[in-house]
Amino acid sequence: MTYPFGPLAASLDETSDEAFAAYAADSQAPAGQRVGVLLLHGFTGSPTSMARWARVFADAGYSVRLPLLPGHGTTPEDMALSTREQWISAADAAYDELDAHCDRVFIAGLSMGGALALNLAARKRPAGVVVVNPGLVVDQKIAALAPVLRHVMKFVPSIGDNIAKEGVTERGYDRTPVASVAHLWRLFKSTRDLLPSIACDVLALISDRDSVVSPASLAALRTGVPEDRLTVERLARSFHVATMDHDAEQIFASSIAFVKARSESEA
């Protein structure tokens, strides 16, 4: 298989500040053939986890937006002040920016970014959605008590850098704000309720060895999205942050094929 690595993706240093920052690229395709891809990173993470993937799409000739979500990329204390409404609003704004000049828009997300992608898809009608280890269920029942616990417990240990490949970091936070867990729980619940409204195809790439998101989230996705709309592909060698792990090239190849097929069929 030939993987879709072009010069932007191949030359990126994932440890650089460039990879850590928000990213945008605009297609030079003629009117009627402009395709946009919105990428959304995960909870307590950063654009680093999606940086190479974003450039793979740009190398393929698509317009790309990879925003830094509110409360991320600074400090855990800042994140504790951000809300799910702000995360959704930022994703909406990036989608609307692409939608204003593209003929078709796709959404891709990792983990919480996957939940945001699905949430958007139920409301915005994109051409398709690609999610990698999307979160839809917080398994720890104590998470429901986070709105109360945050007053006595500000932080819990980090969930970041769950990556099988040695020496790789997504440059996320070293602590998780309990206040943010409360917003995550509500985001997941509201997104589960919206899943039956998704009218486009969904490609879900799921790691076999994910210690952050359990199989309950995939079960929720299967329950909510019609069977004829959902394709599940397994990632055998990666942990949670699979976009930076051993199966990253599989993700890139499968997502490019998914977008290309649905762009050409609607052209």
Residue 149 reports pLDDT greater than 90 = no
Is 69 contained in some domain?
Answer: yes
**Other Cβ atoms closer than 10 A to 17:** 9
Please compute the mean of the pLDDT values over residues 12-31 and round it to a whole number.
93
**Given pLDDT bands bounded at 50, 70 and 90, which one contains residue 144?**
low
Please compute the mean of the pLDDT values over residues 99-108 and round it to a whole number.
96
Is 10 contained in some domain?
Answer: no
Q: What is the pLDDT of residue 88?
A: 98
For the chain, percent of residues with pLDDT exceeding 70 = 92
Instruction: Yes or no: say if 43 and 194 are a contact pair by the CB < 8 Å rule.
Output: no
Instruction: Yes or no: say if 128 and 200 are a contact pair by the CB < 8 Å rule.
Output: yes
**Given pLDDT bands bounded at 50, 70 and 90, which one contains residue 2?**
very low
Count of the separate structural domains present in the chain = 1
The pLDDT tens digits of the residues spanning 221-239 come to 999 999 999 999 999 999 9
Residue 1 reports pLDDT greater than 70 = no
Please compute the mean of the pLDDT values over residues 135-164 and round it to a whole number.
72
Q: What is the pLDDT of residue 20?
A: 96
Out of 111, 217, 238, 263, pick the active-site residue. 111
Give the residue from 14, 39, 88, 72 showing the smallest Cα distance to 251: 39
**Given pLDDT bands bounded at 50, 70 and 90, which one contains residue 160?**
confident
Is 7 contained in some domain?
Answer: no
Residue 68: partners with Cβ closer than 8 Å, 6 or more residues away? 21, 22, 41, 46, 47
CA-to-CA distance for 49 and 123, rounded, in angstroms? 25
Respond yes or no: is residue 111 known to be catalytic: yes
Residue 199 reports pLDDT greater than 90 = yes
Is 155 contained in some domain?
Answer: yes
Q: What is the pLDDT of residue 265?
A: 63
Sign of CA pseudo-dihedral 37, 41, 42, 43: negative
The pLDDT tens digits of the residues spanning 201-219 come to 999 999 999 999 999 999 9
* Structure-token pair, residue 217: 């989230």
Residue 94 reports pLDDT greater than 60 = yes
The pLDDT tens digits of the residues spanning 113-143 come to 999 999 999 999 999 999 999 999 987 655 5
Residue 15 reports pLDDT greater than 70 = yes
Is 197 contained in some domain?
Answer: yes
What does the mean pLDDT of the chain come to? 91
Domain of 240, CATH number, reads: 3.40.50.1820
Is 154 contained in some domain?
Answer: yes
Q: What is the pLDDT of residue 140?
A: 62
Is 15 contained in some domain?
Answer: no
Residue bearing tokens 């409204």: 197
The pLDDT tens digits of the residues spanning 166-183 come to 999 999 999 888 888 889
The pLDDT tens digits of the residues spanning 64-74 come to 999 999 999 99
Out of 240, 245, 254, 263, pick the active-site residue. 240
Please compute the mean of the pLDDT values over residues 248-263 and round it to a whole number.
96
Residue 103 reports pLDDT greater than 60 = yes
Is 199 contained in some domain?
Answer: yes
Respond yes or no: is residue 240 known to be catalytic: yes
Residue 41 reports pLDDT greater than 80 = yes
Domain that holds residue 199: 22-266
Q: What is the pLDDT of residue 232?
A: 98
Out of 63, 82, 201, 210, pick the active-site residue. 210
